[in-house]
Every structure is written in C-alpha cells, then in structure tokens.
Amino acid sequence: MSVPYETAAYEPAESPEAPEEHLARLLGRALNSFELPDETMVRLDCALAYDSSLHSAHHSAGLHRETYRHTWLLADGSAVTLWELVHNTGPDGHLEHEVYVDEEELRAATSRLPLPPDTPDFELPVLVQPSPVPEPRHAYAPDDSADHVRRLLRRAENPDPPDGDLARLLLGSALAHEITQAFGRPSRAAQAGLSYALYEHAFLLRDGREVSLWEVEHTATPDGRHMCEVYPSEEAAREAMERRAATLG
C-alpha cells in the first residue's frame, strides 16, 4: 500500500463489528498504516472473527500512552495480531495512533515516547493480560456454509433432529465449515455387525465459536436402504446407533 488510510476517531462501536469493519477502523486512525506489509494485509482479507484487548497503559504528568492487541482469526485456523499504540506525547497534545505487526516494533516505538522508562510512585501503571483467542479445532474453508446446513438438515430422517434454535443459529452465523469422519470405541453397534459411518460437520461462527452437527449414515433399515440421521451432539448420534443395533438384535 502506498497511501495511508484516512484518520478516524477512536470510539467504540455501537454494535459488534464485522472483522473487516474493525480492521478498517484501526487502519483508518493509524498514522502509519501504509507501512504495514502487503503480506499481512492479504492474510487479513480472509479474517472470520476478531478479539481486541488493552495490553498495557502508562500515565504520567498529563502524558499517557496505551497499547492494544487486535487479533483476527483466519479461515485456515491461524491468527494475525496487530499492536496499536495510542499516545498524546506529540507537540499539540492530540491523540495519535500507530499500528505495528509485532511486539518488538511496538516496544521500539514506545521507547521513543517522552515518557520516563521507570515508574515512580506518582505514576499509575496498568497492565492487563490480553484475553486469548482460542485456537480452532478444525481447518475451516470459507464456503456457502448456510446452504450446507440446509442440505444436511434436509436429508435427516430421524424424528429428533437438531432443534430450530440451533438450525437458525447456524443458518444465520456460520462462516465456514469442515467435514471429518469420527471413529469410536467398539460398542453394541459394532458387535452386531451394523455398518455405519459417523461424520462431524463443524461450523465456525461469526463470533469465533465452533458448533458441530453429527451425521450418521447407515443401512440399518427394514429394507436395507441407505438412511441419514443428524444429531446435535456426538453422544446423541452414538446413542442412536446403539438403539439401532438393539432393534436389529
């Protein structure tokens, strides 16, 4: 990037922002946003969720600075963190915002501010541990996940599929998904020779949460035809397979 973003006010959002909106506000108020590596900006194009937290603060004789950690969760399961420095140590005393890609750059920028390196008694030091962004259990791929939810629930033939609240949550908030086959311990179903397959359909939501639906595919039907059942938990899916085995036995 060769042109810095326009300056924006540092105000909290009225309502939760999308990851790209939060990134745009951060870049808009940072004076040095044009210095960020292109590689970092390209990776942030696939951000799915974000977390922001105060990292530290330092106040002395009317001068102050705060540092913030902004972390975005990406579709491949990795994360990108940008460090924001906010201070009023410039000639006019106005708030200035700077953004950096790592803590080493942040520390170097902080050391240049006209604030004492030590903390005498009359200063108010603040140190806040940032809240971690949990690592996702799956490697998600951005896709039409809402359509995948619809197709999965449409082929479910069990009388007790996931309830409407869970379906609405996934239809309205799923950003990406991954399908994996689940394997388990020997059970009555295995002992009865019941042929089945169990799949986890994992969905990544806008707020970073992960929600799964569990699909059982089997031919344990009176006429031997293929049947699909969908459950809200692995436990419910495995119990259903046990009931099928008991019926056949």
pLDDT at 150: 92
pLDDT category, 214, cuts 50, 70, 90? very high
Q: pLDDT tens across 138-158, in order?
A: 777 667 888 999 999 999 999
pLDDT at 132: 52
The residue with greater pLDDT, 64 or 10, is 64
pLDDT at 136: 57
9 pLDDT exceeds 60? no
Non-local CB neighbours of 211 within 8 Å, separated by 6+ positions: 166, 169, 170, 174, 202, 203, 205
pLDDT at 7: 33
Output the pTM of the full model. 0.51
State mean pLDDT over 182-208: 73
Average pLDDT, the chain: 78
**Long-range Cβ contacts of 77-86 (<8 Å, 24+ apart):** 77/135, 77/136, 77/138, 77/139, 77/140, 78/43, 79/133, 79/135, 80/40, 80/43, 80/44, 80/47, 82/26, 82/36, 82/40, 83/55, 84/26, 84/30, 85/109, 85/110, 86/10
State mean pLDDT over 87-115: 88
The residue with greater pLDDT, 11 or 49, is 49
Q: pLDDT tens across 64-90, in order?
A: 888 999 998 887 778 899 999 999 888
pLDDT at 130: 46
pLDDT at 6: 33
